[in-house]
Amino acid sequence: MNQRRKALVTGASSGIGRATAVRLAADGYDVCLNARRLPLLEEIAAGLAPGNHLVCAGDYSDASVVDGMAETLGKRWERLDVLVNSAGVFMPVDALDSSLPEWRRPFDILFEGGVRVTRMAAGLMSEGGRIIHITSVHGQRAEAKASSYSMAKAALEQYCRSLAVDLADRGILVNAIAPGFVRTAMSVLPDGTDELETEWFLRNYVEGHHLPLRRPAEPEEIAGVASFLAGPDATYITGHVITVDGGLTITF
Q: Report the alpha-carbon distance of residue 102 to residue 6 in Å, rounded.
A: 36
Query: For the chain, what is the total number of helices (H) and then of strands (E)?
Result: 8, 7
List the catalytic residues.
149
CA 71 to chain centre: 22
Q: Which residues contact 66 (CB under 8 A, 6 or more apart)?
A: 60, 116, 117, 120
Strands (E), 37-77: 54-55
φ and ψ at residue 144, rounded to 5 degrees? -60, 140
Q: Report the alpha-carbon distance of residue 72 to residue 48 in Å, rounded.
A: 20
DSSP state of 174: E
